[in-house]
Structure 1
Amino acid sequence: MNATGSVSGAERVLLRLADEAIKMGDDVVLVSPSGPILQHIHPEVRHRECKPIGLNGLRSPVSILKYGASLLRAAIVLLPLMRSSNVLVINNTLASPLAFLFQKRLLWLLHDVLGNDLRGAIGKTASRFFRLVIPVSYAAANPLPTGTAVRVVLNGTPLRESKENFAREGTTSVIGCLAALTPWKGQKTLIKAVAELAGVDFRLEFAGSAFPGDEEYARELRVMAKESPVGEKIHFLGNVDPYMTLQSWDLMVLPSVAPEAMPLSLLEALSMGVPCIATNIGGSLEILRDINGDLVPPSQPHALAERIRELLNDEHRRMVLGEAGRDLVSTKYSLEERTKELYWVVAASTDMAGKVPPRR
């Protein structure tokens, strides 16, 4: 089940799980709102429509009532499917209270690091009622309360051809940020940071679009970029093919101001040998510390600017980090291995457990 109909890193993991299940001969039904996700589902996956489950925050009594109503509508759609299905996997934190209704029948593919806010409290409370919670990183697993059934399965990504094999024009350094335009991704910190690079020949590219409900934030980013002293060097690309875009980037920056579970954009960049700078929290820390990567504190524009400047001036270190990143993806974050592992973890926790994974 997908609660939004959009396609971000979390949805791509769910779609890969569905593809693997189809390959193994299973029947798969995707419950989701209509949206971009329908353009990416396997032809053999059946679709059941549900209304979105609000993900824009719980800021008032009215929004809480709307949230509760969206959960009830989703439960009505799911009830007949639960009678005929072995398992239901959800991948959205605000859909987690459905576990109260379908106790021990649901699995949760957890893509969030649950904090101490209302959203985190909802997820932590609901977690004990799942048959199994499957965090995509240890950063996501750590906040779960004692008594939760947990099995970590790391995200994965394909190992792509190194960016070094693609020709590029010009000598301008290209800094990229591959992330949805949403406040916790920290794009404002990056815009402030590059304002300190006035004497550097660079181009900053933001690849990604606004999450539903974050359109105003996206407008604020564009205004902020336009008013920056280096505004002519800042560009918004919208939704792009990440691998085509990464070919021209000298480095990628992921300036998240809140912990991410396991950012796929970081893995995608590493898979092509693009050196990365990220904040020292959550899954970004979990990934980059394995290669002695470049980490900075969140919401610290000056520290970020200095690290960008240092890395742009050190071609050898960029090459070393790029090679180490590709090695890390091939050994720890293989898409094929992680997807198969996820499938068999799901199968083993359900009535599908009669299927035995192939011996290696």
Structure 2
Amino acid sequence: MLAVATPALAQEQVTPGQIKALREEIADIDDWLADAEEDRSSLEQQLSGIEREIGQLTRERRELREEAREQQQRLTELSEEEAELTRTLESQRESLKKQIRAAWMEGDAPAVKVLLNEIDPDKIARTMTYYEYLSRDTIERLEAFAANLRQLKETRKQVSAGRLRLAELEQDVANRQQKLSTSKTQRAQTLAALETDISDRRNEREELEGDRRRLEKLLKDVEEAIANIPTPNESDPFGSLREKLPWPAQGKVASSFGDSYANGKLSYRGLLINTAEGSEIRAVHYGRVVFANWLRGFGLMTILDHGDGYMTLYGHSSSLFTSPGDWVEAGEAIAQAGQTGGTGNPAVYFEIRHNGKPDNPLRWLGKR
């Protein structure tokens, strides 16, 4: 995503270039907001899809649980059938045992004994038929019960396997549902953070827009206030005084023209001179005061117009000695140094502009 730095107005310049920079930053924020809106829409769609999928999985789990309950009921019924068949089979086995035992007690060949003992042919035939029927019927019934029992056990085995499969399926669905819930939470957190970023960027944009309007108004006011300045005969034109201008204040240069600040996003367009609290700030050349007021970031500021498109700015004052429209001489005290506008130490911000463009003051100031 796009990262937009909030401009530090402590060093912003009331120039068309500065206003252009603000407009570019506002455009960057607009681009970021457009990207963020797309991201938000994508996240919302993802959340919607996840919620639908979670709902579908919840339904699947419910159906699997219902099917598992039916399988458990079937297992219970099969267990009861198995028990009943087992009891019947055991009863048949006991009956067969008794028949075998009785036949054994009569001898190894009960049918032969019957043949030997019976004289009536009809009775012999009936007896032999009885034995054959009894033996065949018993065996058939035992085989049928055994077959039913085997089938029941196989069915029970299949139902148990099916129930195990259902349990595994439900666990798989539960795992997927848990992953989706975790994903939903993460995306919801991302969306919430994005909403916060969007709100912050919108507030930032409003601030920048306000700064832009304020600077445009100030620049317009300054331009309207500037008129052709009648340069005294004894005063040399500003443009002829390169490396000859007096310093606006005593002190050490803390930041020079072109030094970066705001994490490298911006650069100084003037000098920041550390000086003593309450020391005088002096005009570097004859000119007219076009601005003398508080400006956010600069504190109390004075702007002088020297004609031919040259202007000088003096910021961070604790007190202003002039008013718009006043004329000042070179070296005249125009303000008192301080630390208004957010400086940590007493300092003077000094800048030179020609036709709205900042120029390095060290090219204009004389040696000390």
In the superposition, the TM-score normalised over structure 1's length comes to 0.22
Larger proportion of helix: 2
In the superposition, the TM-score normalised over structure 2's length comes to 0.22
Instruction: Identify the structure with bigger relative contact order (alpha carbons < 8 Å, sequence gap 6+).
Output: 2
| Bigger CA radius of gyration | 2
